[in-house]
Amino acid sequence: MRQSGETMALTINEGRRRRTVKGLSAQLPLQAATLAIVFSVVGYMDNATAADVSPQALRAKLNYCEVCHGASARGFVGYYPIPRLAGQQVEYIENELKGFVEHKRVNTASPTSTNVMFNVGHVLSPEMIRALATSFHDLNPKPVGNAPKENVAAGKKIFEEGIPSANVPPCASCHGADGKGNGVIPRLAGQLYPYVVRQLANWGKERAEQNAEIMAPIAHELSKPQIEAVAAYLGYLE
């Protein structure tokens, strides 16, 4: 029986459609396999970045850091106060190490410690720095304390309310109500009393890293008794 032109066109188009569908069906497993490989490679790259530091290598570096920064990185009060790293913000630690390596952070009171921190920092890979910073951030030992308790109440008032007459904002407005910081803004809670006193008293002479331009005018407006009060409050803050 002879087909009309319209019927023949429909038959041809249907055949093409079936061949196209069949071709696509044959390609789907290959495309799925290709996508699986792509996603696996991406996942591998992410995991490789996070897993570049072996537990043994990390533990060795942590032990080395704790020789100066104290057990559980609580800080060490000696001839020269060495700061607490426990609970510190990851980004802040990374930023400070970079500052030592780039000579943006110096220490006029103890030049040898500056050399130590440069020597420590410039040999660390970004992966090791992140691993160390994360490990310190996860620690939460009790503060060393050892600050004049009679100054704590005055320090708490400055921390929470600032000094309006001197245009000094509350410390809590940046460092958080709990003093634990955020990102590149450091944790102050539990920091060593003599370390905080020295840093605030010498601001601008030792520090040139990120956020220094914010802290410099604040630190310069604080009197010695006010600095000591704030440091005392922070020394006991958990």
Q: Residue 125 and residue 26: Cα distance in Å, rounded?
A: 47
Successive 10-residue mean pLDDT values, the chain, 238 residues: 43 45 41 37 38 90 95 92 96 91 72 75 93 96 96 98 96 97 96 95 68 83 97 98
pLDDT at position 20 is 42
User: What's the pLDDT at 211?
Assistant: 59
Per-residue confidence (pLDDT) for residue 169, from 0 to 100: 96
pLDDT of residue 235: 98
Domain boundaries, the chain: 1-51, 55-236
pLDDT at site 32: 39
Q: Annotate the chain with three-state secondary structure.
A: CCCCHHHHHHHHHHHHHHHHHHHHHHHHHHHHHHHHHHHHHHHHHHHHHHCCCCHHHHHHHHHHHHHHHCHHHCCECCCCCECCCCCCCHHHHHHHHHHHHCCCECCCCCHHHHHHHHHHHCCCCHHHHHHHHHHHHCCCCCCCCCCCHHHHHHHHHHHHHCEHHHCECCCHHHHCCCCCCECCECCCCCCCHHHHHHHHHCCCCCECCCCHHHHHHHHHHCCHHHHHHHHHHHHHCC
Assigned CATH for 55-236: 1.10.760.10
